[in-house]
Amino acid sequence: MPVIDGDRLVRDLEMLRTFGQCGNGVVRQSLSEVDMESRRWLVERMTNAGLDARIDGIGTVFGRSRNPGKALLVGSHTDTQPTGGWLDGTLGVMYGLETVRAFAESRETRDLAVDVASWIDEEGTFFGLLGSKMFCGLVGEGDLDGASSADGTTLHAALRDAGLEGRPLERCVPDRYRAYMEAHIEQGPWLEEEKRRIGVVTGIVGIRDVSVRFEGQQNHAGTTPMARRRDAGAALVTFATRVHEVFAAHAGPRSVWTIGNIRLEPGAASIIPGRAWLNLQYRDADEARMDRFEDHVRDLVRESNARGLVAVSMDATKDRTAAALMDADLQRHLEAAAECHAPGAWMSMPSAAVHDAQNLAQVLPSAMLFVPSKGGISHAFEEDTSAEDIVLGCQVFADAVASVLLEGR
């Protein structure tokens, strides 16, 4: 069976870390200059590993195996949040690369076909899970016309600046593949909590984003009596407080909700905000409960509008990803490899984070492997995983990929 080279893996992870490094963290948002540099570096690494590699028309780095037979597709993402950690999805992409290299070095596996992808914009700088959605045909190019980053750059402009405009797009040809497998850091506290080193993912929670706008009357903060104010900011903080109360009252064991961004306009000390905006995101493995959460938000919008001073409106159509189950058979292969290299030190668990595997699961049997996140911290500069866990995870992953493909023979 394949034997991965832990030093080579960690060296490459450290190398990729230098693209956009910021202290212990990394700032490498999709299609930024440094992100494109890192993609060109990745194409070179894939090519050296024998893959036919290129960056496609949306920014995804795709390395295709030249070996015959059904292939297994390994992927994740190398883009980061505005203030991201060094591993996150990067780990899964480098696991794929190291798996390909280890396979080539072992007689048993050298002719197995493994493709590796780094899906563009999983973090949603322009459009969440963009690369995997495009590959799986879950978005048409028309859906992307409105896509733009927080600073107003449109996706189309970013693709043009990155020199990707007009390049061909990689599309999923299901017949080519036996399955899709993805590794990622857990991003949560559970593995550490349970003293386990490997997580085999049973399913991925769904995610919904709601954007709520408040329209009041901008006015002078000194001369406008309290009784005559239509303060969009005051309406927003009351609304947000109610959201936390109501969601807490109806939450399931693993429900989470976050108001990650708030904006008051014009945002000056001595002006009553005339407009305000917040983003509410919530996640749950239970789609029915997420429907109920959405109803609660509608009720709170009605409740706020009933006061009649500030006009509140919500948009719940934005970024939604449905919960997805992982393939049971693939989980069996991951469990066997985990039990072999870390007896008793693995567990089955749901993923509370959204992943590209959610999209791939709609067109291919899919599975995910997790390694522990120190302190459960991620999407932050402090994010980290021990070298031992990084190397163990890759060996388990490579073994599972091999046994899936060999079983298919």
Shortest Cβ 318–a second copy spacing (Å): 9
CB of residue 151 vs a second copy: minimum separation in angstroms?
A: 12
DSSP state of 167: P
Work out how close the CB of 231 gets to a second copy at its nearest, in angstroms, rounded to a whole number. Answer: 7
Peptide bond into 365 cis (omega under 30): no
C-alpha distances (whole Å) from 21 to each of 25, 119, 389 are: 6, 20, 22
| Minimum CB distance to a second copy smaller for 234 or for 402 | 234
Contacts of 19 (CB under 8 A, 6+ apart): 26, 28, 34, 35, 37, 38, 41
Q: How far is the CB of 400 from a second copy (least distance, A)?
A: 22
The H or E element containing residue 57 is: none
Q: Which is nearer to a second copy, 67 or 373 (CB)?
A: 373
CB of 124 to a second copy, least distance (A): 7
Closer residue to a second copy, CB minimum distance, 83 or 106: 83
CB of 217 to a second copy, least distance (A): 8
What angle is formed at CA 281 by the lines to CA 360 and CA 88, rounded to 5 degrees?
Answer: 50
| CA nearest neighbour of 115 among 204, 59, 178, 40 | 178
Nearest to 350 by CA among 257, 258, 268, 285: 285
* Interface ranges with a second copy (CB under 8 A): 81-83, 123-124, 150, 186-189, 205, 207, 209, 217-226, 228, 231, 233-234, 237-238, 240-241, 244, 248, 251, 254-264, 266-274, 279, 281, 283, 319, 351-354, 373, 376-380
Nearer to a second copy, 10 or 271 (CB): 271
**How far is C-alpha 352 from the chain's CA centre?**
11
CA distances from 54 to 45, 130, 268 (A): 11, 17, 48
Nearer to a second copy among residue 146 and residue 174 (C-beta): 146
Output 103 or 282, the one with its CB closest to a second copy. 282
Q: Are 177 and 327 within 8 A, CB to CB?
A: no
Least distance to a second copy, CB of residue 362, Å: 19
Residue whose CB is less far from a second copy, 169 or 262: 262
Q: How far is the CB of 191 from a second copy (least distance, A)?
A: 11
Closer CB to a second copy, 98 or 209, in the complex? 209
Residue number, 99 or 281, with CB nearest to a second copy: 281
Q: How far is the CB of 64 from a second copy (least distance, A)?
A: 31
State how far the Cα of 333 lies from the Cα of 396, in Å rounded to an integer. Answer: 10
CB burial readout 57-80, b (16+ within 10 A) else e: ebbbbbbbbebeeebbbbbbbbbb
Contact at 8 Å (CB) between 179 and 366?
yes
Q: Which residue type occupies 392? A: L
DSSP state of 148: B
